[in-house]
Amino acid sequence: MGLSASEAASLLGVSDQSVYKWESGKTRPRASQFASIAALRGMSKKEAASRLDVSAR
């Protein structure tokens, strides 16, 4: 989707560090976060951009 780790974190409601650690393999997401991650993966770029714009306000 072309999102930065910071943008993905914002959409998932987690810290930037959490996303960095998931990407590097240092940790794994909690089971409770899988639904949010799946929803993010199903989002279009336009919807993600729109949600980021709303959360930035």
Could you read off the pLDDT of 9-45 as tens digits, one per residue?
Answer: 999 999 999 999 999 999 999 999 999 999 999 999 9
Q: Once rounded to an integer, what is the mean pLDDT over residues 41-54?
A: 93
Question: Taking the model in full, what pTM does it have?
Answer: 0.84
Q: Which domain holds residue 39?
A: 5-56
Q: Are 12 and 21 in contact (CB under 8 A)?
A: no
Q: How many structural domains compose the chain? A: 1
Q: Is residue 11 exposed (0-12), middle (13-18) or buried (19+ Cβ within 10 Å)?
A: buried
Confidence of residue 54 (pLDDT cuts 50, 70, 90): confident
Q: Are 11 and 48 in contact (CB under 8 A)?
A: yes
